[in-house]
C-alpha cells in the first residue's frame, strides 16, 4: 500500500490532526480524542512509515555506538605506543588525547552540503570524520614517529593523509590529519569503521583553539588584523618549536655513549616504573 492510494480528503484530515497536535498548547488527551478515524489503507501506510523512521533511528544509535567503540580501539593503539616509548626512552611522546563524536546536527548539515539524505548508510559512505581522535604530542618529530608506527599496523587502512605541518593552511593552521579504517569486533560481526585522527603539538593545539574561537564569533572588529596577528603567532610558534626540538636533539646527541653495563643499570633503575 502506498501513500498515493489514500484519498486526498483522508490525507488532509491526517495532516490537520498532525498540525494541531504539534501546537504548543495541545493537550495529550485531546490529541488522541481528535485523532481521525483512519481507513485500513491509511492506518497501514502510517504504521509502515513509523516503523521505517523508528528503524532508522535505532540503526543510527547503533552506528554511533560503533563509532564510539572505534575511537576506543584507536585510543588504545596510541596508549600502547606511548607506553612502549616511555619504557624504552623514559619520555612520553603523547601529552594528552581526546575523542569526540560528531553531533547529530553537524552530521545532518554535512550530509545536506554533500547533497545526501540523512541515513545511516550515507553517514558511513560520505563522512570520514564522525569519530575523531586528537593526539597531542610534545614535539613535531614525535608526531611523525607515532603516526608512522600507527599507520603501519596491519589492521589499519589509511584512507587519507593531510599534512598541514609540512604544508600549513594559509591562516597558519598546522596538524597532521589521518582518516583511517579500523576493524571493530562486535558480538556477531566485524565492522571496518572510519576514524579521523588529528595529531598536533601542544603549541599547535593552543593556537588552533584560539583560532577556532574566532571562527564562531560573528562581528569582530579588526577581523582582518586579527587574522594577520594569528598568522604571526603561528609563525612564532613554529620557530619556537623548531628551536626547542633542535635543543632537545643537541642534548640527546651529547649524551655519552653508554656501555653495556650502563644500559643494564639504566634499565634496572626503571624496572619498577609504572606502565600506564
* Binding footprint of ligand GTP on the chain (CB under 6 A): 129, 162, 169, 171, 173, 177, 208, 211-212
Q: How far is the CB of 153 from ligand GTP (least distance, A)?
A: 22
124, interface contact from ligand GTP, Mg ion, none, CB < 5-8 Å by kind? none
Residues that bind Mg ion (CB under 5 A): 129
Q: How far is the CB of 215 from ligand GTP (least distance, A)?
A: 7
- For ligand GTP, the closer of residues 211 and 241 by Cβ is 211
Q: How far is the CB of 209 from ligand GTP (least distance, A)?
A: 7
- For Mg ion, the closer of residues 86 and 198 by Cβ is 198
Q: How far is the CB of 65 from ligand GTP (least distance, A)?
A: 22
- For Mg ion, the closer of residues 59 and 129 by Cβ is 129
Report the Cα–Cα distance between both ends of the chain, in Å, rounded: 60
177, interface contact from ligand GTP, Mg ion, none, CB < 5-8 Å by kind? ligand GTP
Secondary structure of the chain as H, E, C letters: CCHHHCCHHHHHHHHHHHHHHHCCCCCHHHHHHCCCCCCHHHHHHHHHHHHHHHHHHHHHHHHHHHHHHHHHHHHHHHHHHHHHHHHHHCCCCEEEEEEEECCHHHHHHHHHHCCCCCCHHHHHHHCCCCEEEEEEECCHHHHHHHHHHHHCCCCCEEEEEEECCCCCCCCCCCCEEEEEEEEEECCCCEEEEEEEEEEEEHHHHHHHHHHHHHHCCCCCCCHHHHHHHHHHHHHHHHHHHHHHHHHHHHHHHHCCCCCHHHHHHHHHHCCCCCCC
Q: How far is the CB of 173 from ligand GTP (least distance, A)?
A: 4
Q: How far is Cα 141 from Cα 84, in angstroms, rounded to an integer?
A: 16
- For Mg ion, the closer of residues 106 and 242 by Cβ is 106
Residue 203 CB neighbour total at 10 angstroms: 21
- For ligand GTP, the closer of residues 6 and 234 by Cβ is 234
270, interface contact from Mg ion, ligand GTP, none, CB < 5-8 Å by kind? none
Phi, psi for 207 (deg, rounded to 5) = -65, -50
Looking up cell 598568522, which residue turns up? 231
Q: How far is the CB of 237 from ligand GTP (least distance, A)?
A: 13
For residue 68 the three cell numbers come to: 564510539
- For Mg ion, the closer of residues 73 and 196 by Cβ is 196
Q: How far is the CB of 214 from ligand GTP (least distance, A)?
A: 8
Q: By beta-carbon distance, which residue lies closest to ligand GTP?
A: 173
- For Mg ion, the closer of residues 211 and 241 by Cβ is 211
Amino acid at each position: 500500500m502506498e501513500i498515493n492510494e489514500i484519498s486526498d480528503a483522508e490525507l488532509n484530515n491526517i495532516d490537520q490532526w498532525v498540525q494541531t497536535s504539534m501546537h504548543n498548547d495541545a493537550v495529550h488527551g485531546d490529541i488522541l480524542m481528535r485523532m481521525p478515524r483512519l481507513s485500513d489503507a491509511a492506518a497501514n501506510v502510517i504504521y509502515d512509515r513509523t516503523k521505517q523512521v523508528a528503524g532508522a533511528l535505532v540503526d543510527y544509535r547503533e552506528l554511533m555506538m560503533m563509532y564510539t567503540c572505534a575511537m576506543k580501539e584507536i585510543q588504545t593503539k596510541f596508549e600502547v605506543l606511548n607506553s612502549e616509548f616511555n619504557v624504552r626512552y623514559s619520555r612520553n611522546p603523547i601529552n594528552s588525547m581526546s575523542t569526540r563524536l560528531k553531533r547529530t546536527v553537524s552530521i545532518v548539515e554535512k550530509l545536506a552540503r554533500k547533497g545526501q539524505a540523512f541515513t545511516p548508510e550515507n553517514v558511513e559512505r560520505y563522512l570520514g570524520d564522525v569519530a575523531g581522535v586528537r593526539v597531542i604530542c610534545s614535539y613535531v618529530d614525535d608526531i611523525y614517529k607515532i603516526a608512522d608506527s600507527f599507520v603501519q599496523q596491519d589492521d589499519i587502512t589509511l584512507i587519507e593523509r593531510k599534512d598541514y605541518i609540512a604544508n600549513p593552511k594559509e591562516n597558519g593552521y598546522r596538524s597532521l590529519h589521518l582518516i583511517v579504517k579500523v576493524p571493530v569486533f562486535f558480538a556477531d560481526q566485524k565492522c571496518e569503521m572510519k576514524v579521523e585522527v588529528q595529531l598536533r603539538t601542544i603549541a599547535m593545539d593552543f593556537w588552533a583553539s584560539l583560532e577556532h574561537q574566532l571562527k564562531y564569533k560573528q562581528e569582530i572588529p579588526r577581523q582582518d588584523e586579527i587574522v594577520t596577528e594569528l598568522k604571526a603567532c603561528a609563525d612564532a610558534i613554529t620557530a619556537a618549536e623548531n628551536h626547542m626540538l633542535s635543543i632537545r636533539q643537541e642534548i640527546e646527541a651529547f649524551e655519552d655513549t653508554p656501555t653495556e653495563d650502563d644500559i643494564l643499570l639504566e634499565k634496572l633503575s626503571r624496572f619498577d616504573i609504572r606502565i600506564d
